[in-house]
Chain A
Amino acid sequence: MFKASAKMDFKLRRPLEASSNASSSMMSEISRNLKPGLPFIPCDSTNICYGARQEQSFSEFPPPQVTQCHGLYAREQKTETKNQLEPSSAVNDLVMDWNPRLMLSNLSFLEQKIHQVQDIVRSIISQEGRANELAAQQQLVTADLTYIIIQLISTAGTLLPNIKNALLSATPVAQTGVVANLPVNASQKHHEVLSVELAKASEYDELIKDLNSGGEGDELIKCLNNSVAEVSESIPIEDHDIKDYDDGMDGENLPPGSYEVLQLEKEEILAPHTHFCLICGKGFKRDANLRMHMRGHGDEYKTAAALAKPSKVASSEPAIIRRYSCPFVGCKRNKEHKKFQPLKTILCVKNHYKRSHCDKSYTCSRCKTKKFSVIADLKTHEKHCGRDKWICSCGTTFSRKDKLFGHVALFQGHTPAIPMDDAKVSGMSDHVQVGETTNGMVANMGYNFSGNASDDAQSLDIKDVDDGQGYFSPMNFDACNFGGLDEFPRSAYDVSESPFSFLSTGTCSFIPRNGEN
């Protein structure tokens, strides 16, 4: 198997090298295109830096063959994805002053990327057989495709109005079991199906066509949908229930079929804006804000009719109850789940998806430990953070006295710690406290931290860590991925067992953490 993977590695190299070339060329293009003072640039550069260092540190590995293969691949893939991801986020950030050139370069890069994928797929077809390799390659393809999707959607998201609902509510096409020759055929079929549905979304097509001079956009969408279909089909649905937050649906027992299920796509859920100006492309969170904005584009938008709330045309058919499905396959809120529990509103979907399947990138500025994926949760927490003045002698903290006393009643020998004066409490966060109240807590935290660090050091067995690059040392990097600190949810295609495990999880989860440091 090792041999095989090594072989595969050789085969893979060509396209990957190409991609890395492409990425570097694109980087230069971006840096040319963008003015120097733009906010995303420093962030980007750190990541580039990181990529370089990562390369160094990996080269320090004692090279057994398989890891070498990983390492190589990881390195290239990483630099590549990094460079590509960042511009996209930059594009997101730059929604305000949208740059068509940047868009163009993005798209042309995507085109190249798609060609690469095609190459891989071709190589799969020509190879045909050995399941192990196939699986690995398939993962590779899916990884690339998802990446493309993310790029595409985020690029398109800067331009597009609310067309996506229609696009994404498309019901998955039943195509199980055709794994071997799936990509091409499936995509064609699927595209046919989808294109019908997309007819209503003509605006979308037109827009893309206008911008990309011809059928390219179409092709992109083809690929996109293709990959989406593949992704959702190729993985057996698992039953891992992720802890449910209150998303407003529990207790509602609608009989299945009595309501229409819509499923927004991940990227759409995560898009910062949902309403976009058709003229300048500016995005808004609320339709009302967009309408206000439209006034600036001319007198025709200032009429009472244009400013009025769009009347609910759908009210003619009031019977349809709309419910939402989470795009995360295997989630209880996903419509494929056996005990599917739909989500009530789009807001519920957004919150649910962020909470359950996204990185918790908002850290509480006070306690530095609690993390949230929904900013409102962070704000709620920050209101109460530091007010956990009810502390048990064992170090456990409680926000409510009765909870603490319940705890004390339950455990032999535990006593409530005496709450400090306010002045002392405020000082507590800054200095190491003397006295029983916080000792336990501090000790606990300290323990956790050191435990993790040592674990990682052991598991990696790295002797020389460059101190100068403390933050970016491989140890730190791996702590993020394997130390269990990071709760990055496994993506839909659960690849944790495959040799490419950190291509999908690691690369994505790594970025925010690095920025945080």
Chain B
Amino acid sequence: MKRAHQQHRHQPFDSILAALSVDLLIQILERVDDPRDRKAWRLVCRDFLRAEALHRRALRVLRLEALPGLLRRYAACLDLLDLSACPGLGDHALATALFAGAGSWLLKSVSLSRASGVGWRGLAALAAACPRLESVDLSHCVGVGDREAAALAAAEGLRMLRLDKCLRVTDVGLAKLAVGCPALENLSIKWCLEISDIGIELLAKKCRDLRVLDISYLKITNSSVKSISSLGKLEVLSMVGCSNIDDEGLQFLDNGSNSLRSIDVSRCDNVTASGLTSVIEGHICLQKLNVGDCFPELAPLFLSKLNGLKDSLTVLILDGFQVSASSLKIIGVNCKNLSEIGLSKCKWVTDEGISELAAGCVNLMSIDLTCCRMLTDKALMAIGEQNKKLVCLRLESCSLITDKGLEHIGTGCPNLEEIDLTDCPITDTAMKYLSRCWELMILKLGLCDKISSEGLVHIASNCQNLRELDLYRCIEVTDDGLAAIATGCSKLQKLNLCYCIQITDRGMKHLSCLEDLRDLELRGLHHVTSLGVTSIAIGCRRLTELDLKRCNLVDNVGLCALAQYTGNLRQINISYCPVSSMGLCKLLGTLKCLQDVKLVHLTHVPVEHLELALRAYGGQLKKLKLFIGLRDLLSPWLIQMLHARRCRIRWVDKPLVFSP
């Protein structure tokens, strides 16, 4: 596309449209997938830009200041607007931006997740401006309360709503929504701790079309389950950590409606096998069953009841159970269609059991064996031989497995996309085997201290789709390994290099060609200097999270480079770095998107300058980490102001120690 750009640059614009109508342009555009290519397309000419504007359905705004212009351009056709990266977005800004669309909004879905600045006025404006609004995400807007819910309730057509961790929403707000949006199908009120049985009861009475409901961690009792059981269309019910609900409550679900497809009762301490059997009996089409951390032992009764679900059940999560080989065998026999099983932290999971399971459930795509410490290569062999469709395998802390086991996985599971080998005693040979899984996207090798650059070369040679790589404390990894990764895995988005102490600026230079890199952790890299950080800043423009804690050589120069180039940076940790006032002021004064800043033990920054820098910050800080000693030294006015702007300050009470 860049080539196309160059070709068309010098031609008169009308000639392009003469040859290619807008329709055709859009047809072409539909075949351009990569966002980078699309960006190039936009830059070709106005007509291309216009065509792109007509074609675009979704928009994610990364910087607040661009919002009005973007909306003016894309207002007409946009379906989805994602404002989750704009914590500074206020009511006024939102209302003004929506007004720019001049009533022609076709928006169906708006995400305001973590956009904690939006209040009821903004939501009222949103509901008024977008008559077709169907989906709103307000999760993690901790300030959202009843007023906001009431404002949102004006959107009658709302079908999907996420209110996760909207801490101030009470029964009243829920009632407003239930009455105002009767068409609601998908609702999440996870962590809305103020909501009680009364609100749930009204919700169940008013929103009869609910299909998906998440009531996790609410302090609700069995009577809520009773009212929920009256929802005839309910398919997905999540009630994680509802410890007031017990078997008696679950029995209400066995009312013959047979609509549930998925139920999650993990961490419900008072739920036992008998309650679950009643759920299973009542909903024989159940596809997903999550009973993690409920009760310690798998009762035979429960296992035999699984037989009733044998055709439908695809997901079974049994985290934290005592699962013997025999019970895994029963599961293997009963649930032939199982595609995902979770056995994380299960005791007594043996090779024998896994072999039985793998033999029974050949369609397994995801297996979670985190902390099943008794497993050896035999289990992996069974999996590799039986489960050809495996996509995800988690083996964290399975300390008995070796490279040999992974050979079976590498050869047997070509579709593998995700593997977690954190804290497993594997070597570069294992990497060689795994490199056969060329679709690998997520690879976690934290604490595998035998992995060296050689292993990374294997991976980089074949796994071009790698998105996420965790090399936490892989102390053997050197710059060469990074060079291989940077060239081989160009789509890498997340990289953890914490305490890979051999890495130097040269490695950083290699990494700087990873244009997609969003999240980079460089904690404790003693050889990386400001130069390395500068090259990263220049190369990885999309960087949003950067951890430089205890990078003892990174100083003002690095910070200035970051301030200049990484405009999208949202989280930064420069604790213990020898930066001075100038760099800090530059960083905080320039970057506008920063939300989470950790500034513990900046020994070269006097208190006055720190205060000045914090005052100079123009964006919306959400989290700030400071040394506790500063609490009394910083002016109360500043702290007050930060609190008033909804910034949470975490005071760290750690003495200054220079060795990691």
* Chain A residues packing against B (C-beta within 8 Å): 401-402, 405, 408-409, 413-419
Contacts and interface: CB of A to CB of B under 8 A. Distances in A.
Given A415-B153, A418-B146, A408 B171 contact: no
Nearest to A403: B198
28 contacts: A401-B171, A405-B171, A405-B175, A405-B198, A405-B199, A405-B202, A408-B179, A408-B202, A409-B202, A409-B205, A409-B206, A413-B179, A414-B179, A415-B150, A415-B175, A415-B176, A415-B179, A415-B180, A416-B171, A416-B175, A416-B176, A418-B146, A418-B147, A418-B150, A418-B172, A418-B173, A418-B176, A419-B146
Contacts of A417: 172
B47 interface: no
B198 A401 contact: yes
A415 to B, nearest CB: 5
B439 interface: no
Interface residues of B, number: 17
A408 B175 contact: yes
Interface string B109-151: 0000000000000000000000000000000000000110010
A100 to B, nearest CB: 65
Contacts of A402: 198
Contacts of A415: 150, 153, 175-176, 179-180
Contacts of B209: none
A417 B176 CA distance: 8
Nearest to B204: A409
A389 B128 CA distance: 29
B516 interface: no
B339 to A, nearest CB: 40
Contacts of B179: 408, 413-415
A405 B201 contact: yes
A422 to B, nearest CB: 15
A414 B175 CA distance: 10
A275 to B, nearest CB: 50
Contacts of B146: 418-419
A437 to B, nearest CB: 11
A414 B201 CA distance: 15
B182 to A, nearest CB: 10
A413 B150 CA distance: 13
Contacts of B176: 415-416, 418
A419 B205 contact: no
A416 B172 contact: yes
Given A405-B198, A413-B179, 13 more contacts: A405-B171, A405-B175, A405-B199, A408-B175, A408-B202, A409-B201, A409-B205, A414-B179, A415-B153, A415-B175, A416-B172, A417-B172, A418-B173
Interface in B185-211: 198-199, 201-202, 205-206
Contacts of B198: 401-402, 405
A416 B147 CA distance: 11
Question: Most chain-B CB neighbours within 10 Å: which of A416, A417, A419?
Answer: A416
A354 B153 CA distance: 48
A512 to B, nearest CB: 40
B476 to A, nearest CB: 60
Contacts of A418: 146-147, 150, 172-173, 176
Contacts of A419: 146, 172
A19 B11 CA distance: 118
A377 to B, nearest CB: 28
Nearest to A412: B179
B177 to A, nearest CB: 9
A413 B206 CA distance: 10
Contacts of B153: 415
Contacts of B150: 415, 418
Interface string B599-629: 0000000000000000000000000000000
Contacts of B199: 405
A409 B173 CA distance: 14
Contacts of B202: 405, 408-409
B243 to A, nearest CB: 22
A13 to B, nearest CB: 66
Contacts of A414: 179
A87 to B, nearest CB: 56
Of all A-B residue pairs in the complex, the 3 with the closest CB atoms, nearest first, are: A415-B179, A418-B146, A416-B172
A405 B150 CA distance: 15
A404 to B, nearest CB: 9
Interface string B164-178: 000000011101100
Interface in B521-540: none
A77 to B, nearest CB: 56
Contacts of B201: 405, 409
A414 B179 CA distance: 7
B154 to A, nearest CB: 11
Nearest to B180: A415
Contacts of A405: 171, 175, 198-199, 201-202
A126 B4 CA distance: 126
A296 B150 CA distance: 69
Contacts of A416: 171-172, 175-176
A401 B201 CA distance: 12
Nearest to A418: B146
A364 to B, nearest CB: 26
A401 B153 CA distance: 20
Contacts of B180: 415
A402 B150 CA distance: 19
A417 B173 CA distance: 9
A321 to B, nearest CB: 44
Nearest to B196: A401
A409 B146 CA distance: 18
A281 B172 CA distance: 59
A419 B147 CA distance: 10
Contacts of A409: 201-202, 205-206
Nearest to A414: B179
A408 B205 CA distance: 10
Contacts of A401: 171, 198
A407 to B, nearest CB: 10
B163 to A, nearest CB: 16
A39 to B, nearest CB: 49
Nearest to A400: B198
A419 B206 CA distance: 21
A408 B178 CA distance: 10
A201 to B, nearest CB: 59
B223 to A, nearest CB: 11
A405 B172 CA distance: 9
A316 B303 CA distance: 74
B172 to A, nearest CB: 5
A405 B178 CA distance: 11
B454 to A, nearest CB: 64
Question: Most chain-A CB neighbours within 10 Å: which of B146, B198, B205, B206?
Answer: B198
Nearest to A391: B172
